């Protein structure tokens, strides 16, 4: 079920109403049933995978807590990790590794026919698998207690607002809220509805509009060159941000209407003045997950600079692979990892630049351009496609006016459409800039209720009248 579908528009008000009418001690059951129905509306049979990883992680945590010997605890943990990651590997990475091994064998003149399976990638499998893994690891570390009630634990793993695209919640934040007693707060409910509206605006008005342009270009790269390719990459950078942060906003707002707080997943990432800062603002739940469960266990910063660099690069390569079973994703992760390593060695000149407003602004522009460059590998279907974009983007640039006009003509962007596009982008940029380190709506506009309602009325009208009509478009991160 998609947040931007009519089915959800009927589903959530019903769940919301029943949730607040039910007694406190039975609400976990409603959340569990609603979450499983939410997931099964996509493909019913794949609910077995969530049930399997939920049961394995639940049982492993209970066994770890009962077992006094640390060595046996470690083996229980390893078994749970192998089983849960094994499911993820089979559905998402089996074909990728089989083909890769076959290709490597052919380099040594060893004929190996790759074994592949035709399976539909389960929506959100990477997200809920990582949530189960962090739970078992936290119980093993002793930072949280194992949950005794299987139903409540299952509701925590499958909580529908964040089930298929995050945020990847930690046990210490979400599980206690599933169990806690909640009383409806109108102000929190209104706040949640406003977050949902911003999310719908980002997704249905901006992201889906840009997706039409981006998808057309990447489906037929040879038909485009020069400025058209530059604009397609720029639009994709905004599309994926609006699409994914829009989903997160809707998820957070939906949960808040149920008096449950999910972690903030995006904080104006394109206004970062370093790659490190970008990753502290982009997909925060995933970047902190890799920090806590991959980077730090490998040694983190508690080792030599060379080892730190290896740890950092490895973490980003794995992060890239998490996003998709393709070497282009691995390369995308490696590019970001290498950039952070470079920043560490250039920390002094970068710090000097940050001391001046002009220098910080220049760094911010550079970081955004770097991210656009890296997104090429993320979006391209293959390495050769990425190379085509990078090599043909400057074609004709020696004649600037012709370069720009031909690019706009190839994308069929009229003056009116450009004004409309950049008007929407301006709204996004201004909001993100003002909201970078504070809640501008609450702090400034919120002091004048009439002004705040005008802002949200305008957003609502934009969503209703200017969203892309037709079949509800999937969110980009559903494929991960």
Q: Which residues are catalytic?
A: 323
> What's the CA gap between 49 and 54, in Å, rounded?
8
* Number of C-beta neighbours around residue 21 at 10 A: 9
DSSP state at residue 3 = T
User: How far, in Å, are 48, 210, 281 from residue 284 at the CA level?
Assistant: 29, 24, 6
> In whole angstroms, what separates CA 225 from the centre of its chain?
30
> What's the CA gap between 469 and 472, in Å, rounded?
8
Answer whether 145's CB lies under 8 Å from 341's CB.
Answer: no
Angle at 191 between CA 185 and CA 192, to 5 degrees: 90
> What's the CA gap between 458 and 440, in Å, rounded?
17
Burial class (CB in 10 A: 0-12, 13-18, 19+), 70: exposed
DSSP state at residue 437 = S
Picking from 264, 255, 189, the residue whose alpha carbon sits closest to that of residue 31 is: 255
Length of the chain equals: 480
Q: Where are the beta strands (DSSP E) in 212-348?
A: none
Q: Is 342 left (phi over 0), alpha (psi -120 to 50) or beta?
A: alpha
Q: Is 292 left (phi over 0), alpha (psi -120 to 50) or beta?
A: alpha
């Amino acid at each position: 079920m998609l947040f931007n579908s009519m089915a959800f528009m009927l589903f959530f008000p019903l769940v919301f109403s029943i949730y607040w009418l039910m007694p406190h001690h039975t609400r976990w059951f409603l959340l569990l049933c609603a979450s499983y129905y939410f997931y099964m509306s996509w493909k019913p049979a794949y609910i077995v995978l969530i049930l399997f990883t939920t049961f394995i992680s639940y049982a492993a945590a209970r066994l770890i807590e009962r077992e006094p010997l640390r060595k046996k605890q470690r083996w229980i943990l390893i078994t749970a990790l192998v089983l849960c990651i094994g499911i993820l590997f089979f559905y998402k990475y089996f074909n990728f590794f089989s083909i890769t091994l076959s290709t490597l064998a052919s380099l040594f003149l060893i004929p190996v026919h790759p074994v592949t399976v035709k399976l539909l990638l389960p929506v959100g499998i990477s997200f809920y698998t990582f949530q189960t893994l962090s739970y078992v690891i936290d119980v093993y570390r002793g930072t949280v207690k194992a949950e005794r009630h299987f139903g409540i634990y299952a509701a925590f793993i499958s909580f529908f607002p964040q089930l298929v695209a995050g945020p990847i919640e930690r046990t210490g934040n979400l599980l206690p809220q599933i169990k806690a007693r909640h009383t409806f707060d109108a102000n929190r409910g209104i706040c949640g509805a406003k977050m949902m509206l911003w999310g719908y605006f980002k997704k249905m008005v901006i992201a889906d509009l840009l997706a039409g342009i981006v998808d057309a270009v990447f489906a037929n790269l040879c038909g485009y060159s020069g400025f058209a390719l530059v604009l397609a990459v720029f639009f994709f950078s905004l599309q994926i941000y609006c699409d994914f942060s829009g989903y997160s906003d809707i998820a957070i707002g939906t949960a808040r209407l149920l008096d449950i707080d999910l972690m903030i997943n995006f904080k104006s990432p394109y206004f970062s003045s370093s790659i490190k800062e970008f990753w502290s603002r982009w997909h925060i739940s995933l970047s902190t997950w890799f920090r806590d469960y991959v980077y730090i266990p490998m040694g983190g910063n508690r080792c030599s600079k060379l080892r730190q660099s290896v740890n950092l690069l490895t973490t980003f390569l794995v992060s890239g692979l998490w996003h998709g079973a393709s070497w282009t994703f691995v390369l995308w992760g490696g590019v970001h990892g290498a950039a952070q390593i470079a920043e560490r060695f250039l920390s002094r000149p970068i710090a000097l630049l940050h001391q001046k407003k002009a220098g910080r602004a220049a760094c911010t522009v550079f970081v955004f351009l770097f991210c656009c460059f890296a997104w090429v590998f993320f979006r391209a279907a293959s390495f050769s496609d990425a190379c085509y974009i990078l090599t043909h983007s400057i074609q004709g640039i020696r004649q600037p006016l012709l370069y720009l006009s031909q690019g706009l003509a190839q994308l069929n962007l009229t003056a009116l459409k450009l004004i409309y596009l950049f008007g929407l982008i301006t709204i996004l940029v201004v909001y993100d800039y003002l909201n970078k380190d504070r809640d501008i709506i609450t702090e400034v506009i919120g002091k004048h209720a009439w002004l705040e309602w005008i802002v949200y009325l305008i957003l609502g009208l934009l969503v209703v009248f200017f969203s892309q009509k037709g079949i509800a478009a999937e969110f980009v991160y559903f494929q991960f």
